[in-house]
Each structure stands twice: as C-alpha cells, then as structure tokens.
Amino acid sequence: MKRHTAFRLTRLSFIALAACAAASLAGCRATTCAGDSAVRVGTYNIRLSGFGSYVADKDTPNAWEARKADMVAFLRGLDLDVFGLQEVCPDQAAYLRETLPEYTMVGDHREADRKSGEASPVCYRTDRFDELKSGTFWLSETPDVPGVKGWGAACPRVCSYLVLRDRRTGRRFCFANTHTDHVSAEAREKGMLLVIERMKEFGDGCPIVFTGDHNCRETEAPAMAVSKLLANAMFESETAPSGPWRTFNGWAWRDEEFPAAEALKLPAEVRNARKGSPDAEKNKKTGRHVYEKFGPRIDYIYVTPGTRVLDYATRADARPGQKLYPSDHFAIVATVEIP
C-alpha cells in the first residue's frame, strides 16, 4: 500500500443490455446491472501483532510473523475496492503498505502521538478513487484530542474515514471504519453515533459506508442505535448471505460452521444468545464458557438506506493446507452500488 501523503468503463454487450431491460431490478445479477458502478467493500480485524515487549500469540502458529504472508494473500484474493481493518499495529501497517502497493492506507494510530498503538485504517484502490478528504478522530467527548479514552472505555478508540470520488461513476461517498470498546457499552453506543454524525458533517450528506469490529450483537443497544440511522448490509443483500454466522472465531477451528443464511431464519435472540442462555455450554476441561453453536457476530458493514447491496459474505477461509485462520476474526465483504 502507498503511504498516505497525499475498469476503465467497459461497454455492455447488446445481449447484456437486453437482459437487464427485460428483468426486474431484483432479478438482475449484480455483475450485469450494476456493472462498473459496483464497489466491493469489506471489514477485517487482522489481530494485533503486539506492542512494547508484548508479542500476541507468541510461540504459536497464530503469531503475526507466522501468518502475515497468508494474510496478504487472503486480502489480495478478496479483491476489494475499499475496506477497513482493525487492530493494525505500526509494524503491521508498514508490512501491508509494502506488500499491497495497489492500495492507499489512511489512518492514525490511537495513542496520543498518533504513531503507536492500534489503528483502524481504511484502504482503497489508488487507481480507482480520488481522495477528497480523510482523517482520524477519537471516540470520546473530545474527538479531536488524540489518545483520549471516552465514556469509560478501556483504551483509546479511533475512527478513520475517507470521502472518495469513484473515477468510474463520479459518485462520492464516505467510508468510515472503527473498532469500538470491548468493555464499555456506553462507549460503544456513543462512539458509533459520533461516527455517523461526523460522517454527515464531513461528507456534506453523501452516502455512508460504516464498517468495523463493533464488539456487540445485533440485539444490543449500540447496534440497535446505529440501525435506526443506517442499514445493516447483511439484511439488505439482494442475495442470501454466504458463509458462517459468527465473525469472531477466537482461533477456534470448526470443521463445520453454522451458516448465516440459516441463522437468519431463527429469532434474533436465539442467534445472538450469550453466556447464560439455554444454548450456552461449558467447557468441561477449562470451565470456561464456550460460545453456543452460532458463535458471536460482532463485525459489521452498514450503509445509507437506499444503497443497493448486491451480495454479502462472511469469509472463513483457512490458511493454505492448515486448519488455521489468518486472524481470530473472519472478514466481511459485500458488493454495493453507491446511490
């Protein structure tokens, strides 16, 4: 990826045009009707490498040094146009910029110096988009003061954002990405509402794509508050979502996942059940709680109401030849058409 300092249009064939004209809006395939206006977006918590003397997942196959090449191959395979990352430490940011030069990465790290700690950057294809505006603010009562913890949060939290112009269509949109606090529910809710209000301000009313690891279920107050203003892309998808329900795997391998499409047929309180619910189980060896068969879904893509979501997927790809994942979260991807 290029350090931040700063499809061509193809003619649809006559057959494709005729097919789109004859089909209803819902029946048209994304690749045919949306054409060059479709934007592939995503979000992915890549799991931190560590900080100071702390090395995350030290001496395991899940340590960053052991998985970073697989991570880059996976990201490249997703073929995204714009995406948000979470838990990106400075060494990880440098590696991704070097190995994914087709993308520009934008976003400060969360500590007061803006250079240390985790970041939640946004990455976009340099050859497709013009960057009109960008920045990072802190999820706190003083969002423009670096390094501040807001509303009882365990650590500083940031949102990085962009206003982009798509060279193919001329359309503008805001893309915001964050990692909300894992301790304070108030910080999660107020932080996400702050993101939306700021995007309205920075984007002059243009459409919003809001991604991230939001550390909450769809039935909990932070997600419900955001859902009153933006649409959960999973629920808006014109095709059934593919992949598993859970987005946080905690490095726990599963040979079979509970499909998101099947989970959506169940009541929300069932698919989002937590510890203490009838579905919950205990690990007899450790005594620790093991998530129910659905698993926690805490990563999201939200869009401005009226945005077409052509497809949506949770990507639970394994590292090549191993029963291991590139991260302790799964990537979430969607194809959208910016209004």
Q: Which alpha helices (H) appear in the chain, and where do they start and end?
A: 14-22, 30-33, 64-78, 90-99, 185-202, 221-227, 233-236, 260-263, 268-271
Of all helices (H) and strands (E), which one includes residue 289? strand 289-290
Write the CB contacts of 239 (distance below 8 Å, at least 6 apart in sequence).
30, 310, 311, 312
Instruction: Print pLDDT tens along the chain (339 aa).
Output: 654 533 333 333 333 333 333 333 334 433 435 678 899 999 999 999 998 889 999 999 999 999 999 999 999 999 999 999 999 999 999 999 999 999 999 999 999 999 999 999 999 999 999 999 999 999 999 999 999 999 999 999 999 999 999 999 999 999 999 999 999 999 999 999 999 999 999 888 899 999 999 999 999 999 999 999 999 999 999 999 999 999 999 999 999 999 999 999 998 988 887 765 544 455 555 554 455 578 899 999 999 999 999 999 999 999 999 999 999 999 999 999 998
* Bridge partners, 213 (sequence order): 179, 299
- pLDDT value for 36: 81
CA distance 243 to 208: 25
Task: Look up residue 249 and give its two tokens.
Answer: 């795997």
- pLDDT value for 13: 36
- pLDDT value for 183: 94
- pLDDT value for 156: 98
Q: Domains in the chain, ordered, with CATH?
A: 38-337 (3.60.10.10)
CA distance 291 to 338: 36
- pLDDT value for 25: 36
Say whether pTM exceeds 0.95: no
